[in-house]
Amino acid sequence: MSGPCVAAVALDRSHRFSKQPAFEIRLLTGLGVAGDAHMGETVQHRSRVAKDPSQPNLRQVHLIHAELFDELGAKGFTVQPGEMGENITTRGLDLLSLPDATRLRLGAEAVVELTGLRNPCVQIDRFQKGLMQATLDRDPAGNLVRKAGVMAVVVTGGDVRPGDAIVVILPEGPHRALAPV
């Protein structure tokens, strides 16, 4: 297949760092991944629930580009799809360069809207020592670059499988860079 595609999908019913690879996942409009611990209209990440459980869930779906795993492999880390907590692993798409509010059609029906960058936390280092630093970089101006994926909300539900095509729908108007959520 040419063009951006879904490389892998994963979910986990429990609040564990890594998610379990699956043959398909079902995205539910306004909720996230069916059966995943982070599914819901309001925040589901434990640290965010503790601060304010009524916040909207801007982190319903976590996407990571498979090219990050290639980069990490060159630095001596071994990371497989789902192990960094992502629901969808993409291939052939520079997720980090997409503007805020970009929509991605995943397969035939599902559409997610990007809400921001994943802000990596210490759990990454608990998974593999030094991995958090390996997912951070600096741009030529010295600004911090977070490479641990992007977060999204589900706009249109549907099933998503490895091999599904990804269509990028850019937002109208001026583009805003993704910020941590």
- Written as one string, the DSSP assignment of 36-76 is -TT-SSB--SHHHHHH-TTSB-S-SEEEEEHHHHHHHHHTT
Q: Grade residue 49 by pLDDT with cuts at 50, 70 and 90.
A: low
Q: What is the pTM of this model?
A: 0.95
Spatial CB neighbours of 5, under 8 Å, sequence gap ≥ 6: 90, 91, 92, 163, 164, 165, 166
Is 2 or 79 the better-scoring residue by pLDDT?
A: 79
Q: Out of 50-59, 79-88, 142-151, which region has the weakest mean confidence (pLDDT)?
A: 50-59
When comparing pLDDT for 2 and 166, which is higher? Answer: 166
Q: Which helix (H) or strand (E) holds 132?
A: helix 131-134
If you count DSSP H runs as helices and E runs as strands, how many of each does the chain have, helices first? 4, 13
Does pLDDT of 71 surpass 80?
Answer: yes
Confidence of residue 152 (pLDDT cuts 50, 70, 90): very high
CATH number, span 5-169: 2.40.33.20
Q: Is the pLDDT score of 93 beyond 90?
A: yes
Asked whether the predicted pLDDT for residue 27 surpasses 70, the reply is yes
72 vs 81: CA distance, rounded Å: 12
Residue 158: both structure tokens together: 């549907």
| pLDDT reading at 180 higher than 70 | yes
- Rounded CA separation 71/7 (Å): 16
Whole-angstrom distance between the N-terminal and C-terminal Cα of the chain? 32
Give which of 89, 85, 87 is closest to 6, Cα–Cα. Answer: 89
Please enumerate in sequence order all residues whose Cβ is within 8 A of that of 143, keeping only pairs 6 or more positions apart, or say none: none
Residue 124 per-residue DSSP state: H
Please name the amino acid found at residue 156: T
Share of the chain above pLDDT 90, in %: 87
**What proportion of the chain, given as a percentage, has pLDDT over 70?**
98
DSSP code for 31: T
Q: Please give the mean pLDDT across all residues of the chain.
A: 94
Dihedral of CA atoms 84, 143, 74, 164 in degrees, nearest 10, equals 50
Side chain identity at residue 45, one-letter code: H
